Structure 1
């Protein structure tokens, strides 16, 4: 049985979008694979590690990963449960136009300098709108193309995304903390518990995480929970149950956090994405 399933969601002259799900049965590093085209990959469920040479990247819902055509990589799953991602490829000339010069390798062919960027909540919402809309056949082709270009622009914007800058040692420490958070999104972790899992002091962990990701550890956890909520909204009628299942203390806490991040309450997002009847 294949570990992967791929569902084509959209293919036009401008944009190709695929929904890729991996069951994560293989925990060790895969054989080397090669990207056949340059694309942006948005994890929306679960977590995996992408290994490019000596560079390791934790792939989770707060990140966009860049896969450059012809670049070899390996995948591993340090946490059970597998993962799911949206793979988005756009016309190369348009991608060059959308990408700030400092983020691209001197070409041709076009390729990204970095392995990943942290995206903002609005970009996460665009990923969910695209996936839900195309999966349910409610998004028009033109609408989906424009949403996709908006998502790429936002994912590369200097004000709407963040490129972590840190030594390899500090990045690995932060990545270990991300894996701890991702291992149980609903758990109400304490700082000392996470620090103990990572193997450093609580003070050092908070300082390094803030320096590398430019956001506090607690907010990073909140955004992982909210990204999971975006994924699950189509499966829940009882939004109070969804919030509690994701570790929120109450429906009001869940709803307020969701609206602060995405500009809509969970119920409003459900209606906007046509995930439930009005």
Structure 2
């Protein structure tokens, strides 16, 4: 059975944040669990699959996953290493103010239609900012609550997030490609190699991935690498080695890509959060 650790980072009348880590030692489906409150779950390390009925959702660092109140689910880990997530809960009335009404199920308060949305790099940076600042006790409650609401608003905004509307078959194909990329973030995959792993032609893979995620496959891989860098910055002392370990061609390539996504270089991000 997989081992969990849950650390409460914030618990107020406005928001509750928990840092949840699972070692993923159980690779098959977990026992059935039930969400007692609607939660927004932000994976920041590793990958898991959430199973609800016959629907499977690959959860990785480019996505926010919705766990609806009263919904039964199971979890599995197709890739070694487990996962770590920031779990966010807010009052349902507040959530209904933040989320566009069309994202909720008809007649339901704070029950999302879709299982996930793709978040943008600035939302990923907010997840890291909240985690680091609350772990180190440097964020006051008012700041943490405000940042949490900003994160949710950005994660649900039509301009700052993406909800894939596609067929079951295309979604499964894209999820298989995500698992291939997540299984070895540092590998410099060729399109033909990924297509072979997924079992389709390179042309069909590129077209389908673009249709589902509204971005090219290579850019999605870049965001996965950068999200992993965000996670590792707290313990990193050699940024050049970090970039090379994640598959970047040089420190300058890593630094420029990081700044383009998050608005700061890795070193500037570390200094801003007092990680060094």
Q: Are the equivalent residues in 1 in contact too, given 2:47–2:82 (CA < 8 A)?
A: yes
**Residue aligned with 1:166, SS:** coil
Determine the C-alpha separation between the residues in 2 that align with 1:74 and 1:204: 31
Cα deviation for residue 108 of structure 1 reads 4.2
Partner of 1:29: 29
> What does 1:37-48 align with in structure 2 at a 5 Å threshold?
37-48=37-48
What RMSD, in angstroms, separates the aligned Cα atoms of the two structures?
A: 0.9
Alignment of 1:120 with 2:131, yes or no, is: no
What aligned pairs does 1:125-140 form with structure 2 within 5 A after superposition? 125-140=125-140
Mean alpha-carbon deviation: is it higher for 85-94 or for 106-115? 106-115
Hey, what's the Cα distance between the residues in 1 that align with 2:63 and 2:126? 13
Unaligned runs of 5+ in 1: none
Q: Distance in 1 between matches of 2:48 and 2:2?
A: 17
Which residue pairs with 1:271 in the alignment?
271
Separation in 1, partners of 2:212, 2:107? 28
1:1-278 to structure 2, matched below 5 A, reads 3-276=3-276
State the SS of the aligned residue for 1:187.
Answer: coil
- In the alignment, the residues of structure 1 paired with residue 45 and residue 2 of structure 2 have an alpha-carbon distance, to the nearest angstrom, of 19
8 Å contact 2:92–2:109 — kept in the other structure? no
The runs of 5 or more residues in structure 2 that have no matched partner are none
The alpha carbon displacement at 1:144 in A equals 0.7
Give the Cα–Cα distance (whole angstroms) in 1 for the partners of residues 80 and 217 of structure 2: 22
- C-alpha displacement of 1:30: 1.1
CA deviation digits over 1:45-104, x for unaligned, max 9? 000000111111000000000011110011000111000000000111110100101001
Looking at structure 2, the residues matched to 141 and 134 of structure 1 have their Cα atoms a distance apart, in angstroms, of 9
Q: What CA distance in whole angstroms lies between the structure 1 residues aligned with 2:108 and 2:258?
A: 41
1:177 CA drift (Å): 0.2
- 2:251 and 2:140 map into 1 onto residues whose CA distance is 33
Report the Cα distance in structure 2 between the residues aligned to 1:151 and 1:254, rounded to whole angstroms.
25
- Measure the CA separation in 1 of the matches of 2:2 and 2:198: 33
Contact 2:44 2:61 in 1 (8 A): yes
Q: What TM-score, normalized to structure 1?
A: 0.98
Shift of 1:122: 0.2
- TM-score, length basis structure 2: 0.98
Aligned partners of 1:55 and 1:275: how far apart in 2? Answer: 40
Name the count of aligned residue pairs.
Answer: 276
Shift of 1:2: 5.7
